[in-house]
Chains A and B, each alone.
Chain A
Amino acid sequence: MKLRMRIRKGREVKFISQLDMMRALERAMRRARLPVKFTEGFNPRPKMSFTPAIPVGITSDAEYVDVEFTRELALEEIYDSLNSTLPPGIALLKVGDAEGKLPLSSVNRALYTVVVGLGGASREALEEAIGKILSSTEIKMVKKSKGKEKEVNIASGIYGIKINTAENDRFTLKMELAAGQDASVTPFMVVDALREYLPSLNVLGVNKDELFVFDRGRKILPL
């Protein structure tokens, strides 16, 4: 059976890579003695697929993974046993059947909470910077991937930026951004773009709250 899991990447593990996350999950499943299905061949790997990797340094409540098992299992059994074997910082939030659901490769948007410090600037200045970003049709960023640098326009991948709460110099923003195989904009890129107008801005923390498929005005969660 193929199951879909929603996983939290907490504060303790925000610096680990996706490969490390996968290994941690694999080991937790072995500790829980769950009957994971493996690939064939000389170097058998568990049959698992993850949603696209997020940059290191951010926490997340929306990491999804599909895992195949060799036999039917009760969902509660998996939920309980994995939550007791996962290492500190990693938790299973929800588990369900993956059959009949949208493939994980189809996700295209994410919602982030981004805590920033204004570095002495005013709320008005922040609002103005956000307004400028949202109305731009071209925001050029240099993106590094596999050692190569290329210039991308991130404007079309920014769907919304809102000020959620404010406490003195510290503001909590909500950002809805492209997050899929075709296009992906990280909160760090958006903050870099905001810095063009507000150089004193700095990031204090980022959390990925939701990951979903946005299709013709509808928001569909993977699970």
Chain B
Amino acid sequence: MEIENINILDEILPKVSKPMRYVGNELNSVKKDKNDIKVHIALAFPDVYEVGMSHLGLRILYHLLNEREDVYAERVFAPWIDMEDILRQKKIPLFSLESKTPLSEFDMIGFSLQYEMSYSNVLNMLELSGVPIFSSERKENDPIVIAGGPCAYNPEPLAEIIDLFVIGEAEESILELVDLYIDWKECSAKRSEFLEGATQIPGIYVPSLYRVTYHEDGTVREILPRKEGVPERVKKRFIEDLDKVYYPTKLIVPYTDIVHDRAVLEIFRGCTRGCRFCQAGMIYRPVREKSAEKLADIARKMIDATGYEEISLASLSTSDYSDLKRLVEILTAEFKDQRVGISLPSLRIDSFTLELARRIMEIKKSGLTFAPEAGTQRLRDVINKGVTEEDLLNSVRGAFEAGWNSVKLYFMIGLPTETYEDLEGIVDLAHKVVDVYREVKGKSKGLRVTVSTSTFVPKPFTPFQWEAQITLEEINERQKFLKKKLKNPHIIYNWHDGRLSFLEAVFSRGDRRLNLVLKKAREKGCRFDGWSDIFDFSKWMEAFSEAGLDPGFYANRPRLEGEFFPWEVIDPGIDRHFLLRELKKAKMAQPTPDCRVSRCQGCGIIKIKGGIRCEVKNED
């Protein structure tokens, strides 16, 4: 089959755009003999190569799994529509990048779920592989279909499609799962026995072993195990000591440009800022840092193995790393002669970081990004975004003085309690930035202020999980308002398609009944929904109506305090009481300080595993 495919590839590749997406064989990619291994895993990313290869989680798991001699992990990405057409025409099954093996011949296919609007690609990739879409239709010899990533924290919309979910950080659980698979394969037992066995590994959710019941009003009554011994709630996994966990240094170096083509150095996980809309800030707790020494060592090995010209520090909020100044000093000194640049994304701009940024970044190459998220202090207090207008304008002033002349401002519209006064606030803030530039430079020539708004999507396991998203009509109205008000030669206004935000809101807090909607949408041809030129909203609306479901029930319905949520079959270690307390404080526009600089706010993470080291000042 492989040889066949490779020859076919020679014929196909000249006909598709960006053929390198399908070639593989990059530096540091892994080649193994399929006869020498026990478990063959396809790491599937439901988007194109350039997007998937930029994802750190995929790279970690790829190299981690391939460290084991008995495992061969390969990559597969969603084929772009031109390639998909050819695969369908020529009846070529979707194949892996490394050995060009059809996906249906793998032991496991593991999907990375980063974004709700990539779900249609998950279904399409299974379809292109000839693997049955629904878990219940798979035969003994079909691959086990697994999934992980942030969207797996609400697994229910894919519960009938994915055989098992890996919840939380997977570095340990994936290896335990592989061990279980090897044992199971040797006893040549049944597929169902493997899935039952997997429930005994903490952090593994096997949806087919849970029954969902509903109330008459359509809300979920409960989700309970069908069998004894299957845990009632699945606790997320996390790595306690990041200095000890595996981190790849021999990263794959793509031949062609990808979205983020650089050496990525993960400096810490978790965030305790406590922004009330932010799921990552809740589910990735507790904060765990890597030591500067460990990071310097990893960085050296990474550059030696890749030759990358840039190291990018990765985390949820770079400036919160407690040893940032020293780390940057170590790295700049180490790599000065080799001309390796250091980049600091997700930086909260203040006087300290601005100085840092000025020292190491190329001025004017790219604009600086600020994320005030909301236009008024009241609304920023509601969402607990601890930034004041004064902070922002001071930072912007500093940036202009340092030579930047292009800034981006990110906001959300439709946040809980938002009024048109808050939208006016966005307009005012943008104009104040223009004024600051005039004050600094004496003119406004050359200035570019980009204002981007996305629509707020309520996410599971956040204080706003009870809140409704504003309706699609209202999204359009508010965008129209901003479009009208942000007419200034120096201001560019970008907005995110409201229909996509609406569907995101449906799936992010969806339940098991949505599996049918996904299937119907796929049958109508939906895929690459996140790509505006391909997205077809009307097909989705048809899919909902055929499935007899109202998308507004999921997106636009405020939830009652006591409602059981479908995602609550998962336990992320954050207390529901804490989230509810935060919601109530939000309604009163009361901020909650960061527990790393004030005191423990009782989010519940400290109780996980009987008490772990939480980096808080005064533990309660």
Contact = CB atoms under 8 A, between A and B. Distances in A.
B19 interface: yes
Given A42-B363, A89-B25, A15 B339 contact: no
Contact of A26 (B26, B309, B364, B365): B309
Given A13-B255, A16-B256, A26-B309, A31 B304 contact: yes
B562 interface: no
A201 interface: no
A20 B257 contact: yes
Contacts of B14: 57
A87 B309 contact: no
B253 A27 contact: yes
B370 interface: no
A27 B305 contact: no
A156 interface: no
A20 B362 CA distance: 22
A12 interface: yes
Contacts of A20: 255-257
A16 B20 contact: yes
A106 interface: no
Interface in A29-49: 29-31, 33, 38, 42-44
A50 B150 CA distance: 45
Interface in A45-77: 57
B339 A38 contact: yes
A38 to B, nearest CB: 5
A13 B24 CA distance: 10
A24 interface: yes
B25 A30 contact: no
A204 to B, nearest CB: 8
B25 A43 contact: no
A12 B23 contact: yes
B247 interface: no
A16 B20 CA distance: 7
A57 B13 CA distance: 9
Q: Chain B's interface: helix, strand, loop or mixed, by majority?
A: loop
A140 B257 CA distance: 35
A17 interface: yes
Nearest to B26: A87
A85 interface: yes
A161 B23 CA distance: 32
Contacts of B364: 42
A95 interface: no
Interface in B360-387: 362-365
A2 B25 CA distance: 31
Contacts, number: 55
B338 interface: yes
A30 B362 contact: no
A13 B517 CA distance: 42
B100 to A, nearest CB: 13
A27 B306 CA distance: 7
Interface in B13-31: 13-14, 19-20, 23, 25-27
Q: A interface, how many residues as a size bin?
A: 20 to 34
B308 interface: yes
B257 A88 contact: no
B307 A27 contact: yes
A116 interface: no
B20 A26 contact: no
Given A13-B255, A16-B255, A44-B339, A27 B308 contact: yes
B362 A42 contact: yes
Q: B interface, how many residues as a size bin?
A: 20 to 34
A12 B362 CA distance: 34
Contacts of A44: 339
Contact of B307 (A15, A29, A42, A89): A29
B312 to A, nearest CB: 15
A31 B307 CA distance: 5
A28 interface: yes
A42 B25 CA distance: 33
B159 interface: no
A29 B25 CA distance: 19
A43 B27 contact: no
Interface string A1-22: 0000000000011011100100
B25 A27 contact: no
B574 interface: no
Contacts of B363: 42
Given A13-B255, A17-B256, A31-B306, A88 B25 contact: yes
B83 interface: no
Nearest to B361: A42
A87 B253 contact: yes
A38 B335 CA distance: 14
Contacts of A88: 25-27
B27 A87 contact: yes
B303 interface: yes
Given A15-B13, A16-B255, A89-B25, A43 B362 contact: yes
Contacts of B304: 31, 33
Most buried by A among B25, B256, B307, B338: B307
B539 to A, nearest CB: 33
A85 B315 CA distance: 30
Contacts of A28: 307
Contacts of B338: 30, 33
Contacts of B306: 27, 31
B178 to A, nearest CB: 28
A155 B339 CA distance: 47
A8 B584 CA distance: 66
Contacts of A16: 20, 255-256
Contacts of A43: 362, 365
A24 B28 CA distance: 13
27 contacts: A15-B13, A15-B19, A15-B20, A16-B255, A17-B256, A20-B255, A20-B257, A24-B255, A27-B253, A27-B307, A27-B309, A30-B307, A30-B309, A31-B305, A31-B306, A31-B307, A33-B338, A42-B362, A42-B365, A43-B362, A57-B14, A87-B26, A87-B255, A88-B25, A88-B26, A89-B25, A89-B255
Given A26-B307, A28-B307, A31-B304, 8 more contacts: A15-B19, A15-B20, A20-B256, A31-B306, A31-B307, A38-B339, A88-B25, A88-B27
Shortest 5 CB-CB contacts between residues of A and residues of B: A27-B307, A30-B307, A87-B27, A31-B307, A15-B19
